[in-house]
Amino acid sequence: MASHELPLAGSYDDLLVALSIVIAILASYAALDLARRVTAAQGRARILWLTGGATAMGFGIWSMHYIGMLAFRLPVPVQYDWPTVLLSLVAAILASAIALFVVSRHKMGVIRAFLGSTLMGSGIAAMHYIGMAAMRLPAMCHYSLALVTLSVVLAIVISLVALFLTFYFRGETTAWSWRKILSALVMGAAIPVMHYSGMAAASFTASPSEHQDLSHAVNVSSLSAAGIVIVAVMVLGLVPLASLTFDSLSTTRQLAARYFLSLGVISVLTILGTLLVQRQGRESQSDARVVNISGRQRMLSQAIAKDALLVAHSRDTAERQRLVEDLRSLDTLWHQSHSGLNRGDPELGVPGMNSPEIRRMFVVLEPDYDAISRATQEMITKVSKENEPADVSGEVSAILAHEGPYLKAMNAIVFEYESEATTRASGENRLYFGLLLFVLGVLLLQGLLVLRPALTRIQQGISQLELAKQALYRKATFLELLQAVAVAANEAPSVETALQFTLDRICKHTGWPVGHVYFVAKKTRTELISSTLWHLDDAPKFAAFRQVTRETPLPIGRGLPGRVAENAKPLWIPDINEDTNFPRRSAAFDLGVKGAFGFPVLAQGEVVAVLEFFSNKIEKPDDELLTVMANVSAQLGQVIERTGAQQELARKVEDLARSNADLELFAYVASHDLQEPLRMVASYTQLLARRYQGKLGAEADEFIGFAVDGATRMQQLIQDLLSYSRLTTRAKKHSFTSAEAACRSALENLRESVKSSNALVSVEPLPTVLGDATQLTQLFQNLVGNAIKYRNERRPEIRVAAKPNGNEWTFSVQDNGIGIEPQYSERIFQMFQRLHTRGEYSGTGIGLAICKKIVENHGGKIWVESQPGHGTTFLFTIPWPERTEI
Amino acid sequence: MSSRTIEILLVEDNPGDVRLTLEAFKEGRVLNNFTVMSDGVEALAYLRRQGQYANAVQPDLILLDLNLPKKDGREVLAEIKVDERLMKIPVVVLTTSAAEEDIARAYSRHANCYITKPVDLNQFLNVVHSIESFWLTLVKLPPQ
C-alpha cells in the first residue's frame, strides 16, 4: 500500500509528565541525602553506600526519563526493545555513580567539577538517546542536530549545577531543611527540562515497521507504567527512610515518621490504583472498539460479497448504480477499518497497537484482503464506468473465493483481539487486586511497626503512671502519718502522751492490732521495762498477752525489743514462729500473732525506748514503712530530748535562783553582821577621842584618829560591796525605761553637789531603752557625780547626750574637768582602783566598777575618752532590744 | 518640857551599844530612866509584867533593836503592836540595818519610826539628841 511519509505529531499525557517531574524531584532529594551519606561513610560502608546510592539514584533518573517517554503519545503504536532499555538504565546508574563519587570527595575544585559534570551530563544524555533508540515503532526518527547539541549542553550545565548544590548542601543533617528541599526542587525541575528538550530534538515520520528488529519489543502498557512509578517512588522513598531510622530520633518521632511514611505510601498507591482504574477504563473502551470494528470487518466483507453478488445478478441499472455506491461506501469503510486496525486511526478510535500474534494473523489475512479489495475496486470501476451491465463475474468469484478464508482469518483475529483484551483486563484486575493487597499489607505492616509499638509504649506509660500514682499515694499516707506524729510530738505535754499517740496512729495506719512501748531502765540501762502504753484493737483478747509481757523480763539482747535495743536498729520478724529469740512466743502464738516489728527511739544517740507491733498475718518487710518508722523514731527521740532538756533547764533555773538567794542572804548577813563590830570600834574610839582628847597625849590622839578613820572607811567599803553585789541579785526584769527620766532622777539625787559646785548640767533628749530604771539612775548618778567631783578650777559644764549608732544607742557624759591620762583608761573601771589619794578626792573607787557592771547588765560597753587638763567623756552603749526580747 | 522622869525601855543585846546609848542620853537634858532588856523574850515578859517583872513600870518609849537573841526584835515589835495594852507605847526601832525590807517590815508592823544607827559617834550623838527633842520634848506621849 502507499507508504505514508507524513510527520507524526506527538502529544504529551499531562499526568505522566507531572509524575515524571515528581520522580525527578524525589530523585534529586535522594541524591542530596545520598551525597551526605557517602561523604560521611568510610571504607567498606562507603563503597556500599556508593553502589546502593548510585543504583537507587540511577533508577530514579531512568524511571523519570521513561515515564517522560511514556507520556509522549504518538499516533502509531510504540514498543520498546527491552535489552536497550536495560542499557539505558545502566547508563543512568553509571552517571549517578560518577556524580556521587565527585560530590563525596573532600574538595570539589573547578576542574573536578567540570570534569564530573561533563561525564555526568554525557551519561545522562547517553541514557536519554539510548532510551530513544529502544523505541520500536512504524516511524522514522529524525534528530535535529542543533537541538540535540542543546540538550547535551543543558545536560552538562544542569549536572554542574546539581553537583554544586549537592556538594555544598551535603552537610545538611536535618532531614527537612529548606536548603535541601529547595535544591531538590531546582534539580527536580531542571532534569525534566533537559529530558523534554531532548525529546523536542526528535521528530517522527511514519514508515513501515518491518525494518526494525522486533524480536524483543514489548508493549509498555499502563500496567508497566504504573509499576515503574511505584517502584521508583518506593526506591527513592527508601533513601530518606534509611536516614530516618539511622538518625537518632526519639522513639515517638520514629513511630510518627513511620506512620506518615506508610500513609504516604498508601496514598501514593491509592492514587496509582485510581489512575490504573481510569486507564483500564480507557483501555477497555479502546479494546472494545477494536473488537467491535474487527467484528464489523467480517460483516462488512459479507456485505461487500452480498452486494457484489447482487450487482452481478442485477439487470436494473438504477439498482446496480445504487448497489455500486453502497459497495463503494462499504469498501471505503472496510478499507479504513482495516488500515485503522493495523496502523491506528483516531477517527475510528483504534490505537493500531497490535500484538505480534495479531500482526502475524493480519499478514496471513493480507492476500485475501488484497484480493477482495482489488476485486471490489475493479467491480466498482467497471460498473460505474459502463452503463450497461458489465461482466463482473470474475470479480465476484474472486471475492467469493477469498471471502471464506478472509472470514475465517478475521474470526481468528477477532477472537484473538477478544482474548488479548480479556487477558489484559484480567491482568490489570490482578494488578489492581495486587495493589489492594499491597495497600492492606502496608496497613498491616504499619499496624505492626507503628500501632503496636505505639500502643505498647502507651500501655507502658500508663502502667508506669499507675505505679507512680500508687507509690505517691503510699508516700502521701506515710507523710501524713509522720506529720501527725511530729505535730503530736511537739504539742504533747508529756513523753507518754506522744508515745501513746504514735502507737495509736501507727496501728491505725498499718492495720496491726497490737502496739506496745518498752522503756530502757534508766538506772541500769541493761534491761527493758514494759510500760503501760498499749494499743490493743481487742483488749480482752490480748489481756493474756499483756500479762505475759509484764511478767517476762527482757534484758537487752533478748526478744524482739531486746534485740532492737541492743542494735539500735529496727527489726522485722515476718513470722514469730520461725524466730528463735522470742520469749513470749507461746502466748503470742495462741492469739494468732504472726508478724512482729520493733523500732528504737533514740535520744542523744542512746536507745531510751522500743516500740513493738504485732500482726496476725505473716508480713513481708516493708521498706517504706521502715523508713517512715525511722523518721517517727527521730521525732519521738526529739520529744524525749526536749522534755529532758526542759526538765534540766527547770532544774538549773531553780539552782540559779537558789544560788542567787544564797548570795543575797550572804550579802545581807555580811553587811549586817559586819556593820555591828565596826560600829563598836568606830564609836568607842570616837568616844575616847571626845572624853580624853588632850589627856592622853598627841600620839594617842593620832592613833585614835587613824583607828576611827579605818573603821569609817571599812564601813563605806562594805556598803559599796553590798550595792555592787545587789546589781546582780536584785536585777529586775528589763522593761522599757526612759533614760531621760533615769538621768533626771540621778540629777535630783545629786542636787546638793550640783548646787554647791555651781555645775551647769545640760541633758539632751535621751531615748527609751530596754533596761532597769534603778540601775540606770545609779549609772547616771555615778557618772555625773564623778564629773562634778573631778572638776578643776573652771565652772563644771556637764553634758549628757545620746546618739543612735547602728543597732544601739551611744550615751555620753562629757565634762570639762581634770581629765584622765590614757594609760589609766582601763584601770579606772576596776574595783576599788583610784588615781588619786583620799586626801585629794573622796571616794572608794567602786563607782566606775558599778557603772561597768550596770552597762554590762544591759548588754553594752563602756569606755572613756579624755584629754588631761581639758575634760573627760564617758561613753557607753545600750543596744536596741532584739525582736525576741520585746 | 516634862518634869516627870520619862521611862525608856531599851531592848538591845550589845552591851557596847547599850553603854553608848546610855552615855548619849546622859548628855541630854531630859530626865530619863532606862531599863535595859537584852533579849526579846525578857523584853516582852517585862512589858507584860510577867514573872519577875510583876512590878515593872510601863515604859513611855521603847527603843528596839531588831537583831536580838531568842526572840527577834521584829517579832517583839509585832507582838507589842497587837497587844491591847502595849500597842499605844511608841516604838522607835533603833538598829544598824539600813535594809529596805527591814524598814518596810518595821513600818508595816506599826513601828512608830525607824532609825539607822550611824557609825560615826558624833552622828550617833546627834541622833540621840534628835530622839530626845522629838520624842521626849516635842511629842505628847500617851498618858499612863
pLDDT digits (tens, 9 = 90+) for A470-520: 989 888 888 888 888 888 878 878 888 888 888 888 888 888 888 889 888
User: Span A843-851, mean pLDDT?
Assistant: 87
Residue A796 near residue A788, CB atoms below 8 Å: yes
pLDDT of amino acid B79: 92
Q: How far is CA A558 from the centre of its chain?
A: 55
Element (H, E) at A602: strand A595-603
**pTM passes above 0.80:** no
Our CA angle for B73, B79, B81, nearest 5°, is 100
Contact B99 A676 (CB under 8 A): no
The whole-number average pLDDT for the span A253-276 is 80
- Residue A251: all three cell numbers together: 522513639
Q: How far is A611 from chain B (nearest CA, A)?
A: 56
pLDDT of A767 strictly over 50: yes
Q: Could you read off the pLDDT tens digit of each residue along chain B, which spans 144 residues? A: 446 788 899 999 888 888 888 888 887 777 788 899 988 888 999 999 988 888 888 899 999 998 888 888 899 999 999 999 898 999 999 888 777 888 999 999 999 999 988 877 888 888 888 888 888 888 888 877
Q: What is the pLDDT of residue A788?
A: 92
Arithmetic mean of pLDDT, A551-576: 83
Q: Which chain A residues have a beta carbon less than 8 Å from that of B124?
A: 683
Chain A residues 670-689 with CB within 8 Å of chain B:
671-672, 675-676, 678-680, 682-684, 686-687, 689
- Distance separating alpha carbons of residues A251 and A263, to the nearest angstrom: 18
Is A235 a residue whose pLDDT tops 80? Answer: no
The confidence score (pLDDT) of residue A783 equals 94
pLDDT in tens, A509-552: 888 888 889 888 877 878 888 888 888 887 788 787 788 788 87
Distance from CA of B69 to the nearest CA of A (A): 13
Interface contact B17, partner A, CB < 8 A: yes
Cβ–Cβ pairs < 8 A, chains A and B: 43
Cβ pair A98, A145 in contact under 8 A: no
Please report the pLDDT score of residue A2 as a whole number.
45
Taking CB atoms and an 8 Å limit, are A683 and B119 in contact across chains?
A: yes
Report the pLDDT value the prediction gives residue A23, as an integer from 0 to 100.
80
Tell me whether residues B117 and A668 touch, CB distance under 8 A.
no
Please determine, for residue A880, whether its predicted confidence score (pLDDT) is greater than 90. no
Q: What percent of chain A has pLDDT over 70?
A: 93
Q: What is the pLDDT of residue B107?
A: 94
Say how many CA atoms lie within 13 Å of A123 toward its Cβ: 24
* pLDDT for residue A266: 82
Residue A597 has pLDDT above 80, yes or no: yes
Pick from A184-193, A465-474, A530-539: least confident: A184-193
Query: Nearest-CA distance from A711 to chain B in Å?
Result: 9
B35 to chain A nearest CA, in Å?
21
**What is the pLDDT confidence band of residue A162, given thresholds at 50, 70 and 90?**
confident
Residue A390 reports pLDDT greater than 50:
yes
The mean of the pLDDT values for chain A is 82
pLDDT of residue A42: 78
- Cβ within 8 Å, pair B121-A678: no
Beta-carbon separation of A683 and B16 below 8 A: yes
Cβ separation of A682 and B20 shorter than 8 Å? no
Instruction: Of A714, A727, A726, A733, give the one whose Cα is nearest residue A666.
Output: A726
Q: Tell me, what's the pLDDT at B111?
A: 93
Q: Which of A116-120, A387-391, A607-611, A678-682 has the highest mean pLDDT?
A: A607-611
Between chains, do B119 and A680 touch, taking CB under 8 Å as contact?
Answer: no
| pLDDT band, residue A886 (cuts 50/70/90) | very low
The count of other CB atoms within 10 Å of the CB of residue A363 is 10
- What share of chain A in percent tops pLDDT 90? 12
**CA within 13 Å, CB half, A104:** 26
ipTM surpassing 0.90, yes or no? no
* Contact residues, chain B, for A715 at CB < 8 Å: 119
Cell of A807: 543597732
Best of A674, A676, A690 to disrupt the B interface (most B CBs within 10 Å) is: A676
Supply φ then ψ for residue A801, to 5 degrees: -145, 170
With a cut of 70, say whether residue A242 has pLDDT above it. Answer: no
Burial class (CB in 10 A: 0-12, 13-18, 19+), A136: buried
Q: Which residues of B touch A679 (CB under 8 A)?
A: 17, 96, 117, 119
Question: Considering all CA atoms of chain B, what is the largest pairwise distance in Å, rounded to the nearest integer?
Answer: 39
d(CA B52, nearest CA chain A) in Å: 31
Q: Searching chain A, which residue's CA lies closest to the CA of residue B66? A: A672
Go through chain B and tell me how many residues it has: 144
Between A696 and B83, the more confident residue is B83
* CA atoms A471, A477, A483, A485: torsion sign: negative
Q: Does B16 touch chain A (CB under 8 A)?
A: yes
Question: What is the distance, to the nearest Å, from the Cα of residue A883 to the centroid of all Cα atoms in its chain?
Answer: 48
Which site among B101, B121, B125 would you substitute to test the A interface, given the most A Cβ atoms closer than 10 Å to its Cβ?
Answer: B121
Residue B62 in grid coordinates: 521603847
- Minimum mean pLDDT among A196-200, A251-255, A464-468: which range? A251-255
Looking at A379-388, A643-652, A780-789, which range is the least confident one? Answer: A379-388
Whether the pLDDT of residue A464 is over 90: the answer is: yes
